[in-house]
Amino acid sequence: MEYSQFYIGIDSCPAGWISFYLSENLNYDLSVFKTINQLWEKYCNATLIMIDIPIGLKSQGPEPRLADKAARKYLTGKRSSCIFPTPCRDVLDAKTYEEANKINKLRTTKGLSKQSWFITSKIKEVDFLLRNNKDARNVFIECQPEICFTSLNNEHPLDHYKKTAKGIKKRHELLTNFYKFDNDPLQMGLNKFLRKNVGIDDILDAWVLAIAAFQGLDNIKFLPEKYPIDSNDLPMRIAIPQFKRYRKRER
């Protein structure tokens, strides 16, 4: 049974999307959904959803999204490569990488990286949902796990990549030091999902996004502070959560 207020962190994974559900009473659950629409059907009453996928796309122009530029600066040289170049809107209709690369060059003068192409289908899923569902548009916020971990680490970008043993250990320590659940969410995820479907970093990313959402809108800043709106009325911004302690409630 879901509580009256609950928060969701979402990360893409090989199986689709992994979600970290966090109730106002600090109950949690991990689930995997094949599509973002299936996830929204399950969690359409969420108070806030943080998702690691670009929301709001440029139509043209050589400059990157201001949000991406600001996020790279915030993460410094240590982790700035985690922010992939966001494709322009017309790329979402491309059927092949070659076509997408050509379109992006035509609209922005820049080619499309393979990394960006690999997440284009996920961007398209979320974009379609938000363009056609006002309720979802009011709940979903673009956030980036490395930005969350940096904020959680006293504004210091982490030294090690998230897939390395040291990187995994540090991220897990930051999460468990912030709030230690009775049962470790990482262990739950490892027991629940096959590695070919969900990676260790996917679990940690969804986890940090959920506790970021739990902080509430009052404890979120945006990059950039004055963010533009795209041609479909979607904000081009990336959230920086200001982590407080968990707001413990009486059961």
**Which whole number is the average pLDDT over 212-240?**
96
Q: How confident is the model at residue 3 (pLDDT cuts 50, 70, 90)?
A: low
Q: Identify the residue whose tokens are 């404890």.
A: 219
In which band, very low, low, confident or very high, does the pLDDT at 249 lie, cut at 50, 70 and 90? very low
Q: Where are the domains of the chain?
A: 6-59+126-241
User: Which pLDDT belongs to residue 2?
Assistant: 53
Give the pLDDT confidence score for residue 248 in this predicted structure: 46
User: In terms of DSSP H, where are the helices of the chain?
Assistant: 36-43, 66-79, 97-108, 114-118, 120-132, 134-137, 145-152, 165-178, 185-192, 200-214
pLDDT of 1 reads 44
Per residue in 48-72, pLDDT tens? 999 999 999 999 999 999 999 999 9
CA 167/CA 170 separation, integer angstroms: 5
pLDDT at 245: 60
* Residues 83 and 72 sit within 8 Å (Cβ to Cβ): yes
- The mean pLDDT value for 235-249 works out to 81
pLDDT at 244: 83
Q: Count Cβ atoms within 10 A of the Cβ of residue 134 and give its class: 0-12 exposed, 13-18 middle, 19 or more buried.
A: exposed
Q: What is the tens place of the pLDDT at every residue in 100-127? A: 999 999 999 999 999 999 999 999 999 9
With a pLDDT cut of 90, the percent of the chain lying above it is 89
Confidence label for 189 from pLDDT (cuts 50, 70 and 90): very high
CB 142 within 8 A of CB 127: no
Per-residue pLDDT of 114-163, as tens digits, reads 999 999 999 999 999 999 999 999 999 999 999 999 999 999 999 998 99
pLDDT digits (tens, 9 = 90+) for 165-178: 999 999 999 999 99
What average pLDDT score do residues 195-203 get? 97
Q: Does domain 6-59+126-241 have CATH number 3.30.420?
A: yes
